[in-house]
Amino acid sequence: MDEINNQVLTEKTIRLLQNNQYSFDVKLESTKTEIKDWIEKFFDVKVKAMNSLRSPKRKRNRRIKESSLVDHKRMIVTLEPGYSIPLFLNE
């Protein structure tokens, strides 16, 4: 299952690590329950809460034709105390 595209490491997500929260970019079609089940099985952790957000589509003009940049979905996963996820998926 390749629902998760990558982990997100920004200034904000690094601050969220102190609260045991991890951020992932996921496919637009995926749901919270699918991602929760996948994370619990793959990383062998317990998920306490999940928040999702979608970035708005940004439009750009290319001469005559308008095109929109791809939007994505980001999941912020809060784990139960005592659990953690490695910072990079390929470790």
- What digits encode the pLDDT tens for the residues 9-28? 899 999 999 999 999 999 88
Say if 63 falls within a structural domain.
no
Average pLDDT over residues 56-82: 76
Say if 62 falls within a structural domain.
no
Q: Is the pLDDT of residue 33 over 80?
A: yes
Say if 12 falls within a structural domain.
yes
Contacts 24+ apart (CB under 8 A), 82-88: 83/20, 83/45, 83/46, 84/20, 84/45, 85/22, 85/39, 85/43, 85/45, 87/7, 87/9, 88/7
How high is the pLDDT of residue 89?
A: 54
How high is the pLDDT of residue 65?
A: 62
Residue environment code for 7-29, b if the CB has 16+ CB neighbours within 10 A, otherwise e:
ebeeeebeebeeebbbbbebeee
Say if 80 falls within a structural domain.
yes
The total of structural domains in the chain comes to 1
Q: Is the pLDDT of residue 60 over 70?
A: no
Q: Which domain holds residue 47?
A: 1-56+71-91
Say if 30 falls within a structural domain.
yes
